[in-house]
Structure 1
């Protein structure tokens, strides 16, 4: 346990340094790249005196080092700044958008992990069979296809042609929960007994979540299959079979138990990436989450919003990666952290 605590402390310190370097890089990069947020905001048609006044109000007329020091000071005080576009607190905007991304991420990772683990285990059991070849081909195909193309095809087939699912948004405005409790529509509609809203929210989330899960499935499938193949060739599996244990117990209890930690680590990291905003998927399906927020603010050259969103994402990834290490250590005490 002492080694784990020491490792967590090291990770926290190194993560703070990493986040500092990353936000510093983003801060200066945004100001080096061509484009002016004030001109983007005004459409380039405002008189020079208006542009000058706006720059003064936004602090963009200050020397870059003073802007940077103010930026660091705001972060240390828990203030991500104010959006150039809306004039609202960036922290409030991110927290408002985060539940949509969280809900999409949870549903996507559940679907991807379910298919990826089951098919990966079965592929390992039947290594070299037609089933193994077909599942490998499917996984490789979805890994190679761009996620935005998968999303567009899902919209066209199941939304436009068949009309089974909506192709954009989170929920019909008439079915929105009466009270926002968690910000997760699938949860809030059930808590408020709005069953029509629950069904509507489920229909809206299916296509983006299914599209994301297809790409994630391929990664989870491959690591599950490769780890299970290694485990199934070990002596303890042969011994379990020799004792007459049922094949299902040998596979799912003994072998999968030992193969699970790297699979869990991968799932956790994939989930962290989704929480940062599945940018292309959210953009294709007009899903009002962190990804679409970041794309929108990049278009407006909204410096504070872009910096805040990237910082928010970095903190999420660090928190989840450390949580994964702790859970893995609890699941397998043999893991040593030095």
Structure 2
């Protein structure tokens, strides 16, 4: 898994840019294979003029969704290379109309043949990938036209800043509250075991130093919840030591901690998150299933006597 895949949807722009650069590079080679001295960035402008002779540069920009400056630059390049002719609109001297030159008309049949071959190849590629990418992009662009990304991020930020629950990483001095929250729930249902004490008394040594992490949830500056990610030998992470103070329950704190821990595992390049629990902890099991965890078919050896449920979440 490369870094952009690890980042997930937050890197959508970078992922699309990478794909765009790949297709642009491939397109340059394909034009050469067809004997066309043609730049990939010219294609939408040239092809639109071929279908609508006499169209203006402003109309081209509106049709293909590029900036007027970008279209003007491409038009100048096409004119300079003898593929487009630009004339003045007799009804509006400020308006420039585009048509193909004789050289452009000569290029058009081979360009159309190449376009048909590329279209069939792309349709086959999308079928092989089992992805209706074109429709998905249509829907995505439609949603962004209704509400742009900047306003969406602003709204999420507003909600986060208004939320009474704030998540943060473990800091020096957090060990006592980390132990207290976990000892409270474990002692209510079970007995503290040696594996518990090792992690709760020395979290820096047994959780953080090997590459794990600890997240804490605060309400009004008070730590009310926590969970840990413990690095496993297979490169995965164990979701462990999740606890929420009784007085703070009912605020979705466990769910927020779980989501953040799963995203942290993705950021660290993990392909799976594993956890152990007990069948008597029905609310906890419901939370894990809500987060996407599924029961393991074959149980693994556990250092905990109380662990009779084992689950995992596979990460893409």
Q: TM-score if structure 2 supplies the norm length?
A: 0.24
> Which structure has the highest strand share of the two?
2
Higher helix share: 1
TM-score (norm: length of structure 1): 0.23
Larger relative contact order, structure 1 or 2 (CA cutoff 8 Å, min sep 6): 1
For the pair shown, which has the larger CA radius of gyration, 1 or 2?
Answer: 2
